[in-house]
Amino acid sequence: MHEMSLAESIRGIVEETAQGQGAQRVKTIVLAIGELASVEVEALRFCLDVVLRDSLADGAAIKIEPVAGAGWCPACDRSVPLVQRYDPCPHCDGYQLRPTGGTEMRVKEIEVE
């Protein structure tokens, strides 16, 4: 389960940022997670509950903002929505789509006090 290592990385980013701002506590963490990022959101939430205990972010609200998947079809020479990797192009039914969006995961915002 790679969500645990993702959660540990998020904790590091959040703590470093909060400490750099002289924060006492982290109230909210906003994550942008792409539909094609291969992240199981509920598993990540569980892992975050575990790794954030006894940290500046213990009890922080976790908000997830989904990022839509997108791909480039070289056969059609156009950008298309992409719900899952390896889906066919909705225009030509070709399977050469290259993901161009929705593959990322990042800490988008941290609210501190």
pLDDT digits (tens, 9 = 90+) for 66-111: 999 999 999 999 999 999 999 999 999 999 999 999 999 999 999 9
pLDDT of residue 1: 58
Q: H or E stretch including 41?
A: helix 41-51
Task: Tell me which residue of 15, 3, 95 sits closest to 40, measured CA to CA.
Answer: 3
All domains of the chain in start order, with CATH: 3-112 (3.30.2320.80)
Nearest Cα residue to 79 out of 67, 87, 91:
91
Terminal Cα distance for the chain, rounded? 32
18 in Cβ contact with 26 (< 8 Å)? yes
The pTM of this model reads 0.89
